[in-house]
Every structure is written in structure tokens, then in C-alpha cells.
């Protein structure tokens, strides 16, 4: 089996700074290494760099059977970029697969991150922003084997710009009704002191909640 013949796959980046982070437009260099326990035919070794945001959350249904029936799930994904490049390929002289001897093999790679205003790496309960590098090893008449590592991406936007230092707020309201009876509105306004924050910075959120209806309402964050 292929996974038994290839071991100790490592993908390493050459650090550009003390934090080992990368930003838009940076040149990413490094190497992939692996050990082969026996001679193996390889047709292609390629890499794919990708940036993507994804969210997943649910509402309602935190009670009995009836509430669970009304549970709703929401999910979405957004691709920032994705591109591929070849690290090593089949024997150019014969056009056949390259025969790799047993032992350790090391391949260098270089790619440039695209220019753009991409958000920083983020891991949350209901969503994440990931930048990954995937190395795929192809063999004749076999499915490719993928090995993935994460890239620490930081958006180096200047958060001290006057536009980004301005406060941000949003409001929403709803009116409860039953047949011909209409109650007063329930409204909420949420605001933050500025529009841009850096990773690790505390965010103070102010919620202004008003309930002019006859129902009891509890805001949740």
C-alpha cells in the first residue's frame, strides 16, 4: 500500500518574521520531505494554495421534541483564492512515471500569495478563516494522496486610518402580533467603538435593547 511505503511527510515554510506569518503578496518558500520504504513510481507532486472562510450555526430547537423539529441550520463558504503549481512531475525523457528510490526525498517549493484585502486567519466556534497549502502525490493507477498544512495569514492593514477608527452600529426591530392585536416593537441597536481590530484585541460591544411589547423578551449574544 502507498501509505505504508511513504512515511514522515513534512511541509515546512521558511519564516519571514518571528511570528512565522505571511501576508498578501508575500513570497512563500519552503520544502516538503517524506521517506519511502521502497522504490515507488510517482507521476506528479503538486501543491495547492487556498484561502477560504466558512460559517456554520444553528438556531432554535434547544428543548423538547417540538423545538428540535424547528431547529434550523445555516452554513456558507467563501473562497478568496486557490491556485496550483507543480513541485515535481513524471520523467520528461520517457514520459513515464519517475522511479523514486527508498529513502528520504526533499523537494523545494516557491509560490506568491495573491494581492488583495484578505482577512487574517481565524478560528471560532461558528466559523473559521483558513489558508492552507496542500501537497498531493500522484501514482499511476492510484488516487492521489493529499497532505495539508495551515498557513498563518495576517492582514497588515493600517487600523489607525480615520475611516477604520470611526464607530460602527446596526439596528433591527420586530413587531409581535396575534390576529388583530398588535403590540409595540422590540428593538435592538448594537455598536462597537471602531471598525477595525487586530488579533488579540478586546472588542467592547454595546447593546441597546428596548421592549415596548406585552411579551417578555430576553436578548442573546
Domains of the chain, residue spans: 2-150, 162-211
Of 12-16, 45-49, 178-182, the least confident: 178-182
Condensed to tens digits (0 to 9), the pLDDT of residues 30-82 reads: 999 999 999 988 899 999 999 999 999 888 765 556 555 678 889 999 999 99
For residue 119, what pLDDT is reported? 92
C-alpha 106: how far from chain center:
28
For residue 83, what pLDDT is reported? 95
Is beta strand 205-211 parallel, antiparallel or unpaired with respect to 145-150? unpaired
Residue 91 scores a pLDDT above 70: no
Mean pLDDT over 144-168 rounds to 89
Say whether 62 sits in a helix, a strand or coil: coil
Q: Which CATH number describes the domain made up of 2-150? A: 2.60.40.640
Instruction: Decide which of 102 and 1 is more confident.
Output: 102
Over the chain, what is the mean pLDDT? 86
18-32, 54-68, 177-191: which is most confident: 18-32
Mean pLDDT over 7-32 rounds to 94
Mean pLDDT over 96-110 rounds to 89
All cell numbers assigned to 190: 448594537
Of 202, 204, 169, give the one whose Cα is nearest residue 188.
Answer: 169
Cβ atoms within 10 Å of 92's Cβ, excluding its own: 7
Cβ–Cβ under 8 Å, residues 100 and 40: yes
Read off the pTM. 0.69
Residue 16: pLDDT band by 50, 70, 90 thresholds? Answer: very high
Percent of the chain with pLDDT over 90: 48
The CB-side HSE value for 12 (13 A sphere, CA atoms) comes to: 11
- What is d(CA 123, CA 108) in angstroms, rounded to the nearest whole number? 29
Size (the chain), residues: 221
C-alpha 121: how far from chain center:
7
Cβ neighbours for 215, distance < 8 A, ≥ 6 positions apart: 176, 183, 186
Residue 140: pLDDT band by 50, 70, 90 thresholds? Answer: confident
Helix, strand and coil content of the chain, in percent to the nearest 5, comes to: 5, 55, 40
Cβ neighbours for 79, distance < 8 A, ≥ 6 positions apart: 50, 51, 52
Beta-strand ranges (E) seen in 44-100 are 44-59, 72-89, 98-100
For residue 75, what pLDDT is reported? 94
Cβ neighbours for 68, distance < 8 A, ≥ 6 positions apart: 61
Amino acid at each position: 500500500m502507498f501509505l505504508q511505503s511513504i512515511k514522515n511527510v513534512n511541509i515546512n515554510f521558511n519564516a519571514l518574521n518571528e511570528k512565522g506569518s505571511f501576508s498578501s503578496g508575500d513570497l512563500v518558500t519552503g520544502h516538503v520531505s517524506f521517506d519511502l520504504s521502497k522504490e515507488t513510481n510517482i507521476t506528479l507532486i503538486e501543491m495547492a494554495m487556498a484561502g477560504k472562510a466558512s460559517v456554520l450555526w444553528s438556531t432554535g430547537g434547544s428543548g423538547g421534541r417540538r423545538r428540535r423539529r424547528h431547529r434550523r441550520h445555516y452554513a456558507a463558504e467563501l473562497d478568496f483564492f486557490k491556485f496550483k503549481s507543480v513541485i515535481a512531475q513524471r520523467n520528461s525523457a520517457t514520459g513515464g512515471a519517475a522511479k523514486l528510490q527508498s529513502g528520504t526525498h526533499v523537494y523545494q517549493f516557491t509560490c506568491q500569495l495573491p494581492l488583495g484585502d484578505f482577512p487574517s486567519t481565524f478560528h471560532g466556534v461558528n466559523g473559521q478563516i483558513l489558508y492552507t497549502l496542500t501537497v498531493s502525490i500522484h501514482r499511476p493507477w492510484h488516487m492521489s494522496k493529499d497532505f495539508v498544512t495551515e498557513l498563518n495569514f495576517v492582514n497588515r492593514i493600517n487600523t489607525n486610518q480615520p475611516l477604520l477608527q470611526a464607530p460602527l452600529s446596526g439596528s433591527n426591530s420586530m413587531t409581535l402580533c396575534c390576529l388583530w392585536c398588535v403590540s409595540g416593537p422590540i428593538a435592538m441597536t448594537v455598536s462597537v467603538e471602531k471598525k477595525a481590530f487586530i488579533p488579540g484585541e478586546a472588542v467592547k460591544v454595546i447593546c441597546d435593547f428596548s421592549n415596548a411589547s406585552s411579551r417578555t423578551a430576553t436578548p442573546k449574544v
